[in-house]
Structure 1
């Protein structure tokens, strides 16, 4: 059930039945010339929808909160359309949102993250909330936590690469421009931090070869990831 579609009275009733609230967090940033800027939100939203359905089939109700669209995207900020939020701003914002959920009486909060730059701010925000409230926070980074399963479907994994492109082909194929899908895997032996490093590590906003992506692979990824998450949550909620 999507929170933003409810009146406050409906929310009050839904809250009483829900075992947890799930908060998708992503980013608005460049994903090559072939994927939309909202990829990191579209993916967790779709996974959340599938997880909710699977849990409901088991008799477990969760509420899906409106997503947090903007994330920490320092490296990709060299490309137009990337809206970078400072790590500390994101930490404080997510902390405040989760604190409000705790004030509403939720004992379990699920953070479903779709963007790598958010990981550390989300951990810090969760620790702050857990120190102040009697609440359990479950942080899921869908592409990281289920990397093994994803690499059994795709030959590689990376930003705007085969896995993300496949997922977007399954979610919204009309937004994917496969004729512009190209890239390669790049890395450095140590972390390099400078303003324009994204041009080197993410040429055209890509760090992987997306050309092997298919809708079928995306459907398999979405299904295996949502199934794994639902089974994990079933034992925790």
Structure 2
């Protein structure tokens, strides 16, 4: 019997999280008033070129980047094990898109928050990388319920574009909003298993990207009107994106993936720092 176990491709979303710490280290961090970073996502199809875990890898990467930036600012933080039992509607007709019931997701989030509060942690910052309408609606409600029931100070980090899509204003006590960097307008959407997600996977988890398949993919050329149909999910969505991706993944690059994660991590860490120092003001929603 071999002495060590290694994942088949050397990747673990537990690396650097609470899951790889001892209870002694957790107790010490709570005494030192460390904040918690909670990555959230789902396991769902991401086209023929990417694995099912992209959303989890994405939120995990962001959490690691934020933690590094916060450390430089003298702010202690822990990364909770990534949450991935969420809800899928848009990709529900594809194999591999796990989904749970609304009450299951709500209870899981509540239980996580209750555990953290019981151990002595007060501030939790949620880093979500999945924007299916059902998922965000339930996450929104679960955060509010957890705050009311447990007294934990949980906050959902969003940029202003995503906040508008989710339906929050920034005035809610459980939401922290930053300004998204400007993006040049394009006639077609690039939002799922797209150039952005493919880029960070190429940079940080290159062995999980099927380059041969990727190079054969053509842009889906999905418009805003098409997207409205796609968001209904199931077979209607699959007719719009029969290969399970929405955008132009073949235009991805590792450099873009690195730059995107690093920029977001810095922006989010600055937001958390301002909030903890009492200097946070929500931006004007466009």
Shifted more, 73-82 versus 223-232: the winner is: 73-82
1:167 counterpart SS class: helix
| Matched-pair contact (CA < 8 Å) for 1:33–1:180 | yes
- Higher helix proportion: 1
Matched, 1:87 2:119: no
If asked which structure has higher relative contact order (CA below 8 Å, sep 6+), I would say 1
Matches within 5 A, 1:68-83: 68-83=83-98
Shifted more, 92-101 versus 217-226: the winner is: 92-101
**In the alignment, which of 109, 127, 139 is matched to residue 156 of structure 2?**
139
Deviation at 1:194, TM superposition (A): 5.9
Alpha-carbon displacement from aligned partner over 1:96-123 (angstroms, at most 9, x marks no partner): 2112212222221111111112311111
Deviation at 1:185, TM superposition (A): 4.1
Gaps of 5+ in 1: none
Deviation at 1:179, TM superposition (A): 2.9
Shifted more, 162-171 versus 191-200: the winner is: 191-200
Matched, 1:151 2:183: yes
Deviation at 1:191, TM superposition (A): 7.3
**In the alignment, which of 208, 228, 231 is matched to residue 175 of structure 1?**
208
Shifted more, 219-228 versus 83-92: the winner is: 83-92
- The 2-side partners of 1:190 and 1:40 are apart by 22
Total equivalences in the alignment: 236
Deviation at 1:189, TM superposition (A): 4.5
Deviation at 1:89, TM superposition (A): 1.7
| Matched-pair contact (CA < 8 Å) for 1:158–1:208 | yes
Gaps of 5+ in 2: 1-15, 164-177, 277-286
Deviation at 1:61, TM superposition (A): 0.3
1:24 counterpart SS class: strand
- The 1-side partners of 2:95 and 2:84 are apart by 16
**In the alignment, which of 241, 244, 259 is matched to residue 202 of structure 1?**
241
- The 2-side partners of 1:156 and 1:78 are apart by 21
Deviation at 1:201, TM superposition (A): 3.1
TM-score (norm 2): 0.75
**Judging changes above 3 Å, is the alpha-carbon distance between structure 1 residues 61 and 36 closer, same or farther for their aligned structure 2 residues?**
same
**Judging changes above 3 Å, is the alpha-carbon distance between structure 1 residues 168 and 30 closer, same or farther for their aligned structure 2 residues?**
same
TM-score (norm 1): 0.89
C-alpha RMSD over aligned residues:
2.4
